[in-house]
Amino acid sequence: MTLKLAGRTAFITGGANGIGLGIARALAGAGVKLALADIDGDALEIARAELLPLAAIETFVLDVRDREEFARAAKDVEDRLGPVTLLFNNAGVAGGAPVSRLSYELWDWGVDINLHGVFNGIRTFLPRMLELGEGGYIVNTSSGAGLVAGAGAGVLYQSTKFAVVGLSEALAIELADEDIGVSVLCPGPVATNIIERTRALQPSVTRSMTREQLEAARAKSGHMKSFLAGGASPDAVGRHVLEAMSERRLYVHTDPALASLVEERARAIIEAMPTQMLI
């Protein structure tokens, strides 16, 4: 069925920065009421001031790890803007460390935000969508790094982003008979400040690092910042997401750079399969 956006209410985590804000701008132009959730209260105020002339908007300071806060936000959104039928589980972090230095604390922090935060959004809003019976859409933000492993992204980041892809694929199957679409956004580089914001939030791994290790980490961070700076604009990604929703595309990509690597990975998986079932 064709999904009409105008008049619906969207809940966007990580909505005050980067891709989330790009999606919010695109939705505002489509006549959607906006509920922006972000851990950054100052950025929320700036986003609200920008978007208020364009759309009805409410903002919520929210840590996506906090399920009770999710529930409170959902109730407040319904009271102020109406029921949420467009859900964008976009909040995420890019943190990590070499696996030899990957502490339990850092692992739990990254998994709680990048994976559990997505499920928390689904668990909070999907039952309401189903009960309402007016259809809807869920977009989960993963990454190109959730499709193929590569140097630089790290075990923590790639594990969580691969998981979001699998979660989204399974969710699409379960909702196939419902009028609720599912897409998983797997962007390549996008010009955001996610590296800086992640570094400001993540548990420290630098206290016991040698000077050489610190210099290597800083060089890697600088390379990643430059890599992202040359990527797509958040606004272009936001418009592209809405186009993908209109076509009910499960996978949403922002560039073709990983195509050959994804094909190589798929071929390796298939070639590793036995020719007949083991007995």
Instruction: Record the pTM.
Output: 0.91
**Exposed, middle or buried by CB within 10 Å (0-12, 13-18, 19+), for 274?**
exposed
CA 75 to CA 83: how far, in whole Å?
A: 9
Instruction: Write the pLDDT tens digit of every residue in 87-132.
Output: 999 999 997 788 988 999 999 999 999 999 999 999 999 999 999 9
1, part of any domain: no
CA 208 to CA 23: how far, in whole Å?
A: 39
278, part of any domain: no
pLDDT of residue 219: 56
**pLDDT at residue 32 greater than cutoff 70:** yes
Q: CATH number for the domain including 213?
A: 3.40.50.720
Instruction: Write the pLDDT tens digit of every residue in 43-72.
Output: 999 999 999 999 999 999 999 999 999 999
- Predicted confidence band at 28 (pLDDT cuts at 50, 70, 90)? very high
CA 59 to CA 47: how far, in whole Å?
A: 9
Domain interval for residue 14: 9-271
175, part of any domain: yes
**pLDDT at residue 214 greater than cutoff 90:** no
279, part of any domain: no
Active-site amino acid positions? 157
What 3-state class would DSSP assign to 252? strand
pLDDT of residue 82: 98
2, part of any domain: no
221, part of any domain: yes
What is the overall mean pLDDT for the chain?
Answer: 92
169, part of any domain: yes
Domain count, the chain: 1
